[in-house]
Amino acid sequence: MTLVASGVLYDCPTCATQFTSVEHLCNHLTDDPHCNGVPVPLAICQPAGPGEERTARYHENSGSIYGFHQPNSFERMKAHDYEAHRAHNVYYPFADREEWELAKFLSDNLNQGQITRFLKLLWVKSETRKPLAYKSAQQMFTFMDALPKGPKWRCTTIHTKGYITTHPVHLIWHDALEVMWHIFGNPVFANDMEFDPYKIQDQLPSGATIVPIVLASDKTLVTRQSGGLKMHPMFLTTANIRSDIRMKATSHAWSCIAYMPIPQFICHPDFCSLLQARVWHWCVDIICENLKITAATGTSMVDPSGHSRYAFTPLVAYTADLPEQQMIVCVSKNASPITLATQSQFGDGVSYPPRHGNIMIEVLHQLCQHEAKSLYLSGVQLPFWHNWRFSDPAYFLAPDILHTLHKFFFDHIFKWCKEVLGADELDSRFHRQHKCVSHVQKMTGREHRDIQRTIVATLVGVADANFIQAIPQSPTFTLSSITAMTSSLEEFHRFKRAIISAEAHRGTSGPIEHFEIPKLELLTSFARAIPNLGAPIQFTSETSERMLITHCKGPFTRTSHQRASFMQQIYALLRSKSLSINNLIDNEFEEVVDIDPAFDWIMRVSPEEVSRFHGPRPVHNHFLKGLLSEDSRVAFHVTVSSDLADKSPNFLVWLYHLPNFPNLLHAFIERVNVSGSHFQMRLLKVWNKFRLQLHSDLRPRLVMPSQQVQVYPPSGAYPLGNYQVVVAQVRMVFGLSTRGSALPPGLSEPLLYVQLFEVISRPQDDHAVMMYCVKRRFKTSPDGTRARLGMIIPLVDVTHAIELIPEYGQRVNHNVTAATSLELYDTFYLNSFSDKEWYHALHADFY
C-alpha cells in the first residue's frame, strides 16, 4: 500500500492498534514487547527527506502472519537424536569446544589424507596432552555428521530405459523445499529479509507470502572424490533476502541443492546432447517437485522470527550462461538469442499457463528429432518448468551481466579498440593510467572492470569520433536508466559502420562485414527484464561462479561439512552462552554499514566472539567518530598520530615542492582569525592520507566503504609525488600543531593544500566521449613564469574523490609512468563511469 500523510490511520499488523502517522507506528513496532517481533517493511525504514513524512509502498494483502513462536531453522536443530547429550555439552559428540574447533579447522583446510597424517603426529598423541575423541579422519567426519544440520542429502539412481550409459547415473540431491524451509527460517537473515512485495499476483489468496525462488547452475565439473563421475552443482536461494546479501558468496544465503550428473550415453553423437538435456530436466523435476506443489497450493513456512506464513514458491530467476539457458528453454544451440530474449519459445512472452506447455508437448510427441531441429527445438518434451505455476522462462531467465556484458566487451569491443589503437599503444595507455595493471593480457576481474570504465577516454586522439560513439557507454542498469540504456544500444547500431570502416571487427580470415554476434543480440533483453526482475546485477553468474570455486576445489562431502560446521558454530555459541537463538529484529532507523549478517548478529549479542568467525570484516563507520562536513553528508578520518609533526612551512615547501605554500597559509590564517597573528609561527603536522566516506544515494541509510585519498610527497617510487584528486588535486594534508594556546575554530581541524582545475567542456559538448574535460589552472607572475594555481581549504569542504584520465593525444608520452601521469599531463577527462553515485551529485553541482 502507499502511505500518505493526511487523513489516514495505520494499523499495527499484530494488535490492530491505529496510529496517525508512520513514525508512531514504527515506534510502536519497535518498542512494544508484544509487537516488536513483526518486521517493519524495509521500505518504511528509509529516512524521509527534509520536511517530508516517511512514506513507503508495499502490497496491503501480502505477508500476513498466521502464528507466533514457531520453531525457526535453529530451533528445529534441537530436534536431534543426541539432544539429551547436548543439554550438557552443545558440542557433542566432540568433548568440548576446543576439540570441535580443531575438527572444524582440519575439515575446512585439509583433505582426508592430510588429516590422517596430522592425527598420527606424536605431538597429537602426546601423553601430556588431552587425547582426542576421534583417532582418524573417518571417525572425525563421522562425528561431524552427527552434528545438528539442515536438510539431508539423498541419492537417486536415474534409469535411462532403452539407452545405455558408460556408468550408472546417480543424482545426489536435497529436496529443494526442505532447503528453502531452512533458508527462509534462518535467524541469521532476520534483519535482511522482506515479506511485503510492491505487487503480488492476484491469483494468490489474501495474506499469502511470496517466497521467490532463485536458482543458479554452471557446467563447471566436480570430479574430486566423485568416483570419476562428472557432475556439476546447482544452487538455490530466495529473493526475500536482500539482494546485496544474496550477491555475497560468503553470506551463506545460497545452498547447494544438487550435484547434477552428466551421463555419457553409448549412442549416435547427434542424440547424446538431447538425452543429456532430458536427464537434466528430469533431475531438476525430482529436486524441485515439492517446490512446484507449493507454488500451486502454498504451504506453511516459519520465518527467522518464528512467525508462521502462508508461502508460495514461484521460480522468479534462474542464473545461467547462454548454452544452459538454451537447454532450459529447450531450443537448439543454433537458435537465435532473440528467440531466447523475446519469448520463452513455448509461450508468447506474456505468461506461461499450462495450455502452452501441453500444446508443445503434444507437438513434440508427434515430431521426430529432425523435425524438432527444423523448428530450432532441442527435442526435450518435458521441461522441468512446464507445470511450475507462475514460472515462465521468458521472465525467470535473467540476463547475465558477466557473460552477456563483461565477456562481450572483452571478446569484441576490446578487440576492436586494439585494432584501431594498436595493441602496444593501448597497452601503454593503460599501463600509464592504472598503477595495478602491468599488461592488458594478464589482469584480474577487478582490473577488467577498470579497463571498461576508462576505455572511452583512452580512445580519444586516435579513434574516429563515430567509432568512439559506437562503443556502448551506459554505465548503470537500473530502472531509472532503462531509457538511456536503450538509447545507448540504438546509438551503437547507428554508428557501428565506423567499426567496419576501420576494419576493427576481424576474424581469422580478415575483416568481418556483419555483426551477427549472439551476445550483442542478447543486449536487447536487459531493458525488458529490468521491470520484471529488478536490477540484473543481483542475478549475475559471478556470484554462482564464486560459489563454484568453493564447491569445486574439493570433494563435495567437504563442502557439506563446511556449511554444517558454520551453522553449528553460531548455534553452539548461542546455546553455550545461554543466548536467544532468535535474532531479534533491529528496527532502529539510524545509518547502517555493509556487514555480513552473521557477524552483525554476533557483534550485537557476543562481540568478544567475533574474532573466532572468519569472513569479510564490516565497513568502518566514520560518521560515528570522524569529522563531518557542514551538512553531515560526508565523513572524514585521519589518524590520531600524524605522519610528520612539528615541521615549519619552509620545510614543507622543500619536501612537497610547493613554493607558494607559506604565502597561502599566511593569507588563510588571517582570513580565518584576523587577530591571531601569533598562530602564523605555529609549527605544522602532516598526514600522507585521509579517508572520505559517503552514504549510498540508492539506500540513504547505508554507509558506503570509505575511500582512501593518498597525498605522498615526492620519493623514489613517486618522483613527482602521489597526489589524488577531489576535483582539485590534493597536494598536502596538514594541520596546525596543538602545542601552545588553543586553536580557534577553522584552524583546529585538518586543512588541505589543493591545486585547481577548470572545466573546459561538458558532456553535451562532445557527444562521442560524453565526459567533463578539465584543465589545470595556472597563475602567471609579473616575470611571465606560470605556476599552478593553489589554495588552502578545510578538509571537511571535500565532497568526493574522483578519477581523472589523461588526454593522451595521438600518441602516449613514453616518458610518463602510472606514478607521474597526473603530474605530466595538464588536460584530463573526468571519469563518469568509475562511481556513478558521486557522478550524479557532481553533475548537479556543475550545473
Q: State residue 333's pLDDT score.
A: 74
Question: pLDDT tier at 360 (50, 70, 90 boundaries)?
Answer: very low
The rounded distance, in Å, linking the Cα atoms of 247 and 235 is: 13
Q: How confident is the model at residue 820 (pLDDT cuts 50, 70, 90)?
A: confident
**Given pLDDT bands bounded at 50, 70 and 90, which one contains residue 56?**
low
**Local confidence band at 64 (pLDDT 50, 70, 90 cut-offs):** confident
**Segments in 506-635 forming alpha helices (H):** 518-522, 525-533, 541-552, 556-576, 597-605
Across the range 114-139, mean pLDDT stands at: 89
What band does 159 get if pLDDT is binned at 50, 70 and 90? very high
When pLDDT is averaged across residues 424-432 and rounded to a whole number, the result is 84
> Which pLDDT score is estimated for 584?
67
Residue 173: predicted pLDDT = 95
- Whether 845 shows a pLDDT value over 60: the answer reads no
* Per-residue pLDDT, 775: 94
DSSP 8-state secondary structure symbol assigned to residue 411? I
* Greatest mean pLDDT among 46-60, 125-139, 201-215, 275-289: 275-289
Task: Specify the higher pLDDT residue, 21 or 339.
Answer: 21
The answer on pLDDT for 667 being more than 70 is yes
Q: Find all residues with CB under 8 Å of 268, minimum gap 6, and list them.
A: none
Residue 435 has pLDDT above 80, yes or no: no
| Predicted confidence band of residue 362 (pLDDT cuts 50, 70, 90) | very low
Q: Provide the residue type at 529 as one letter.
A: A
Within 8 A by CB and 6+ apart from 640, the residues are none
**pLDDT score recorded for residue 345:** 37
Q: How far is CA 117 from CA 94, 225, 315, in A?
A: 20, 19, 46
- CA 699 to each of CA 315, 540, 591: distance values in angstroms, whole numbers, following the listed order: 27, 20, 10
Task: Pick 748 or 469 by higher pLDDT.
Answer: 748
pLDDT, one tens digit per residue, over 619-634 is 788 888 889 988 888 9
Inter-residue contact 198 to 213 (CB < 8 Å): no
Per the listing, cell 572492470 goes with 449
Query: Is pLDDT above 90 for 750?
Result: yes
Most confident listed range (120-129, 596-605, 615-624): 120-129
pLDDT above 90 for 366: no
Rounded to an integer, what distance in angstroms lies between the CA atom of residue 560 and that of residue 649? 63
pLDDT band at 352 (very low <50, low <70, confident <90, very high): very low
Greatest C-alpha distance within the chain: 99
**What cell numbers appear for 319 in the block?**
542464473
Predicted structure pTM score: 0.79
Q: Are 356 and 386 in contact (CB under 8 A)?
A: no
For residues 729-758, average pLDDT: 91
Which pLDDT score, from 0 to 100, does residue 291 have?
97
Mean pLDDT over each residue of the chain, to the nearest integer: 80
Window from 161-175, 339-353, 420-434, 747-761 with minimum mean pLDDT = 339-353
Look at residue 735 in the predicted model and tell me its pLDDT.
94
Q: Which residues pair with 694 in a beta bridge?
A: 634
pLDDT tens column, 472-494: 654 444 455 677 777 778 888 88
Q: pLDDT tens, 173-231?
A: 999 999 999 999 999 998 888 887 766 567 788 888 999 999 998 776 654 444 455 67
Please report, as a single letter, which amino acid is at residue 251.
Answer: S
Q: What is the pLDDT of residues 553-589, one digit of tens each?
A: 555 555 566 667 778 888 888 888 888 777 766 554 4
CB 309 within 8 A of CB 194: no
Residue matched to cell numbers 563511469: 833
Q: Is the pLDDT of residue 339 over 60?
A: no
pLDDT at 705 over 60: yes
pLDDT at 350: 30
Q: Give the whole-angstrom CA distance, residue 367 versus residue 355.
A: 19
State residue 636's pLDDT score.
Answer: 94
| % of the chain beyond a pLDDT of 90 | 25
- Is residue 267 very low, low, confident or very high in pLDDT (cuts 50, 70, 90)? confident
